[in-house]
Amino acid sequence: MERQKKLTGLQKRKAIAGYLFILPFIVGFLVFMIQPLAQSLYMSFCDVQVGAGSFSPQFRGLFNYVRAFTVDPEFTRLLSEEISRMFINSLAIMVFSFFVALILNQKFRGRALVRAVFFLPVILSSGVIIGVETDNALMASIEAAVGETAASGVSVTGAIEEILKTAGIGTRAFETVFEIVDSIYDVAIASGIQIIIFLSGLQTISTSMYEAADIEGCTKWESLWKITLPMVSSLFLVNWIYTIVDFCMRSDNEVIEKISEEITVQINYGFASAMSWVYFGVVIAIIGITSLIISKGVYYYD
Amino acid sequence: MTDAVIKGGRNMEHRKVHRKESEASSFWERNRKSGGYLLKKRIREVIYKIIRVFMLFGMCFLILQPILNKISVSFMEEQDLYKSTVIAVPEHFTTENYRLAAELMNYGGTLLNTIVISCTIALLQIAVCTLVGYGFARFDFPLKKMWFACVLLVIIVPPQTISTSLYLHFRYFDILGIIGAIRGEGLNLRGSKIPYYLMSAGCMGLKNGLYIYMIRQFFRNIPKELEEAAYVDGCGILSTFVRIMLPDATPILTSCFLFSFVWEWTDSFYARMFMGNTSLLATQLAAIGDRVNKYVVNVVGNASGASVGYTSCMISTGILMVITPLLILYLFAQKGFVESISSSGIKM
Distance (Å) of CA B141 to CA A16, A18, A22, B42, B145:
7, 6, 11, 59, 9
**pLDDT by residue (tens digit) across B62-94?**
888 888 888 888 888 877 777 777 777 788 888
Q: Is the pLDDT of residue A134 over 60?
A: no
Contacts of B201 in chain A (CB under 8 A): 24, 28
Give CA angle at B284 (B280, B285), nearest 5°: 115
Angle, nearest 10°, between helix axes B107-138 and B208-220?
40
Return the CATH superfamily for domain A81-262.
Answer: MetI-like (1.10.3720.10)
- Chain B: closest CA distance from residue A42 (Å): 10
Are A46 and A270 a contacting pair, CB within 8 Å? Answer: yes
pLDDT grade, residue B16 (50/70/90)? low
What pLDDT, on the 0 to 100 scale, is given for residue B20? 55
Whether A111 has its CB under 8 Å from any CB of chain B: the answer is: no
- Best CA proximity match to B344, nearest among B238, B225, B259: B259
Average pLDDT over residues A268-279: 84
Whether B289 has its CB under 8 Å from any CB of chain A: the answer is: yes
What percentage of chain A exceeds 90 in pLDDT?
6
ipTM, 2 dp: 0.77
Mean pLDDT is lowest, of A83-92, A141-150, B34-43, B252-261, for A141-150
Average pLDDT over residues B225-230: 86
- For chain B, what's the residue count? 348
What pLDDT, on the 0 to 100 scale, is given for residue A187? 84
Average pLDDT over residues A200-205: 84
CB A126 to CB B263 under 8 A?
Answer: yes
A 192-231 residues inside an 8 A Cβ radius of B: 193, 196-197, 199-200, 203-204
Contacts of A116 in chain B (CB under 8 A): 330, 334, 338
CATH number belonging to domain B97-344? 1.10.3720.10
Contacts of A115 in chain B (CB under 8 A): 338
Provide the sign of the torsion angle of the four alpha carbons A135, B191, B211, A255, taken in this order.
negative
Domain boundaries, chain A: 1-42, 81-262
Whether A119 has its CB under 8 Å from any CB of chain B: the answer is: yes
Whether B333 has its CB under 8 Å from any CB of chain A: the answer is: no
Whether A40 has its CB under 8 Å from any CB of chain B: the answer is: yes
The residue type found at B134 is: Y
Q: Is the pLDDT of residue B258 over 60?
A: yes
Contacts of B164 in chain A (CB under 8 A): 40, 43, 263, 269, 272-273, 276
Give the residue from chain A lying closest to B213, CA to CA: A238
Please indicate whether residue A252 or residue B108 has the higher confidence score (pLDDT): B108
Most confident of A219-223, B76-80, B176-180: A219-223
What pLDDT, on the 0 to 100 scale, is given for residue B180? 57
Please indicate whether residue A79 or residue A10 has the higher confidence score (pLDDT): A79
What pLDDT, on the 0 to 100 scale, is given for residue A5? 47
How many inter-chain contacts (A to B, CB under 8 Å) are there?
A: 263
Please indicate whether residue B194 or residue A4 has the higher confidence score (pLDDT): B194
- Chain A: closest CA distance from residue B208 (Å): 10
Contacts of B330 in chain A (CB under 8 A): 116, 120, 123
CB B202 to CB A24 under 8 A?
Answer: yes
Average pLDDT over residues B247-268: 85
**pLDDT by residue (tens digit) across A97-125?**
999 999 988 888 888 888 888 888 887 77
pTM for the predicted model, two decimal places: 0.80
- Chain B: closest CA distance from residue A264 (Å): 9
What's the rounded Cα separation, in Å, for the pair A71 and B134? 49
What pLDDT, on the 0 to 100 scale, is given for residue A94? 92
Contacts of B311 in chain A (CB under 8 A): 136, 138
Give the residue from chain A lying closest to B260, CA to CA: A123
- Chain B: closest CA distance from residue A70 (Å): 21
What pLDDT, on the 0 to 100 scale, is given for residue B2? 45
- Chain A: closest CA distance from residue B3 (Å): 32
Q: Is the pLDDT of residue B273 over 90?
A: no
Q: Average per-residue pLDDT in chain A?
A: 79
What's the rounded Cα separation, in Å, for the pair A61 and A46? 7
CB B286 to CB A132 under 8 A?
Answer: yes
Contacts of A256 in chain B (CB under 8 A): 158, 160
- Considering only CB atoms, B157 lies closest to which of A115, A203, A280, namely A280
B 68-127 residues inside an 8 A Cβ radius of A: none
Contacts of A33 in chain B (CB under 8 A): 150, 153-154, 157, 162, 204
CB B166 to CB A32 under 8 A?
Answer: yes
Contacts of A47 in chain B (CB under 8 A): none
Residue A195: partners with Cβ closer than 8 Å, 6 or more residues away: A97, A100, A101, A104, A118, A119
What pLDDT, on the 0 to 100 scale, is given for residue A132? 63
Residue B342: partners with Cβ closer than 8 Å, 6 or more residues away: A196, A199, A200, A203
B 153-172 residues inside an 8 A Cβ radius of A: 153-169, 171-172
Residue B297: partners with Cβ closer than 8 Å, 6 or more residues away: B303, B305
CB A248 to CB B158 under 8 A?
Answer: yes
Whether A54 has its CB under 8 Å from any CB of chain B: the answer is: yes
Please indicate whether residue B18 or residue B231 has the higher confidence score (pLDDT): B231
What would the 3-class secondary structure string for chain B be?
Answer: CHHHHHHHHHHHHHHHHHHHHHHHHHHHHHHHHCCCHHHHHHHHHHHHHHHHHHHHHHHHHHHHHHHHHHHHHHCECHHHHHCCCCCCCCCCECCHHHHHHHHHHCHHHHHHHHHHHHHHHHHHHHHHHHHHHHHHHHCCCCCHHHHHHHHHHHHHCCCCCCHHHHHHHHHCECCCCHHHHHHCCCECCCCCCHHHHHHHHCCCCCCHHHHHHHHHHHHHCCCHHHHHHHHHCCCCHHHHHHHHHHHHCHHHHHHHHHHHHHHHHHCCHHHHHHCCCCCCHHHHHHHHHHHHHHHHHHHHCCCCCCCHHHHHHHHHHHHHHHHHHHHHHHHHHHHHHHHHHHHHCCCC
Q: Is the pLDDT of residue A295 over 80?
A: yes
The residue type found at A23 is: L
What pLDDT, on the 0 to 100 scale, is given for residue A270? 81
Average pLDDT over residues B252-270: 85
- Considering only CB atoms, A196 lies closest to which of B153, B201, B338, namely B338
- Considering only CB atoms, A141 lies closest to which of B66, B171, B308, namely B308
What's the rounded Cα separation, in Å, for the pair A278 and A79? 9
